Amino acid sequence: MTVQRVSMITLGVADLDAARGFYERWGWQVRQATPQIVFFQMGTLVLGLFPLPALAEDQGRADAVATLGMGGVTLAQNYATEHEVDERFQAAIAAGATHLKAPTAAPWGGYSGYFADPDGHVWELAVNPYWELGDDGATHIPEDLPAQ
C-alpha cells in the first residue's frame, strides 16, 4: 500500500551534545535521549539527532561519512506572522545558527528567511499566505488549489 508520510527526519551531526545544545538554546524540548541519539517530538513526526558516523553506518555505507553532505535538503517551519518569523530567526542566530538569508518578502508572495544549524542543516522560517496553518501547526495545501 502506498503511504505518503514522513515519520522521522534524522539530522547527522558532528557532536551530539553540541547539536542538542543548539536546538535546546533555540527553545526545543528533548522528548527522549540516550548517549547515542536525541529525539524531539515534532507534532505528528519525530526529529532525531544522530552522529554522522553512526548515520552512515546505519545507512550501510560506513565508508561514506566524509561525503555525506547537507544543504540539498531544507526543513521549513511555517508561522502565521512575519513577526514570529523574525523573532524565531533571531533566536536561532542567538542560539548559534549561521545566517544565510535574512527574513524578507519572497518572490512567491510569502515571507522567508534561512539559517544553517551548526552542522549545516538548513532551516527556512516562513509565512505562506496560500497554505493553511492549523492551531496545532499542521500544514495543508488548500483543497481549492489545482492538483496536477
Site string for a second copy, 128-147 (x = CB under 8 A): x--x-xx-xxxxxx---xxx
Q: Are 118 and 19 in contact (CB under 8 A)?
A: yes
Using CB under 8 A as the binding rule, the residues of this chain from 37 to 96 that contact a second copy are 39-47, 52, 55-56, 58-61, 64, 67-79, 84, 87-88, 91
Q: To the nearest whole angstrom, how small is the minimum distance from the Cβ of residue 65 to a second copy?
A: 9
12 binds a second copy (CB under 8 A): yes
For the bound state, the minimum distance from the C-beta of residue 140 to a second copy, rounded and expressed in Å, comes to: 7
Cβ neighbours of residue 33 under 8 Å, at least 6 residues apart? Answer: 20, 39
Of residues 18, 30, 94, 105, which one binds a second copy by CB under 8 A? 30
Assigned C-alpha cell, 101: 538569508
Instruction: Provide the 3-class DSSP secondary structure of residue 23.
Output: helix
Q: How far is the CB of 117 from a second copy (least distance, A)?
A: 11
Q: Which residues contact 52 (CB under 8 A, 6 or more apart)?
A: 12, 13, 14, 65, 68, 119
User: Min. distance of Cβ 130 from a second copy in angstroms?
Assistant: 10
How far apart CA 91 and CA 96 sit, in angstroms, is 9
